[in-house]
Each structure stands twice: as structure tokens, then as C-alpha cells.
Amino acid sequence: MTSAHAVVPPVTAPAQPRFRSDGAADRFMRRLLGITATDRRSTEQAHRAFRVSVVISGVRCLITYLLVPVLVPILSLAGWVAAPIGLALCAVAAVSGIVSVRRFWLSDHRYRWMYTAFIGVVFVVLALALISDLNRLGVIA
């Protein structure tokens, strides 16, 4: 006698994404950056975004601290020319930094905290440059 009953597998909840750490700080950063799952394949994208971020920050520093101070007096341009250039470069560097941090967290990279600390220092430098540029424009005293 054979049974015609089909075996139905039990219904299970979808697997939760597996992260390297589920500590409170990690959960906070993932929530802040909008990370809900990992994408281990994005590790190369994280490294590429890091390189782009560092290059943009380096170009910003070269322009802000080398070219502008040299070219402004030579070309007899007023100091107000440097501030908008600095503001634009700060904005580009900040966006690039955020994208690269997000990619490190999306890939659940093992050095995500080290890079987050590094980009935090970069953001402090960008904030100081932003205050300097806004002061040059007379927006803040």
C-alpha cells in the first residue's frame, strides 16, 4: 500500500543576511548607511571607490593649498575666486567619501571600521576647509 500524500517541506523564514559582526555599533552603521544585505562581490568596487576618493581629496588639496595660493596673486585674482573652487571640491570629496564608506560596509569588508575612521578624519579636514572657504566668502565671521 502506497501513500499518495506529498511531503511538503516546512515553511521557513528567508535567511537573514550574515554579517561579520552583529554588534550594536555595526548595526548602527549599517542602518545609518542603509545597508540591509551584504554583497561580497562589491569588495573590488569598495577598493575602487576608496582610490577615487583619495585621488579626489588629493586633487582638492593640491588645488586648494598649492595652485590657488600661487595662481591667485600671479593672476591678480581676488581671494573670492578660491572659495567657490574649494567649496565645489569639498562637496565632490565628501560625496566620494560617503560612496566609498558605503561600499566598504556593503561588502562587509574586514577593514570597514579602519576605513570609516580614516574617512572620519578626512571629513574633519573637509569641514575645516569648508569653514575656511565660507569665511573667505564672508558667509561666516
pLDDT, tens digit, for every residue of 17-53? 678 788 899 999 999 999 888 877 767 777 777 788 7
In 3D space, the residue among 81, 102, 91 whose CA is nearest the CA of residue 126 turns out to be: 91
Band of residue 135 on the pLDDT scale cut at 50, 70, 90 = confident
pLDDT at 7 over 90: no
pLDDT tens per residue, range 75-130: 555 556 777 877 888 888 888 889 888 888 988 888 899 999 999 998 998 898 88
pLDDT of residue 8: 62
CA Rg value for the chain: 24
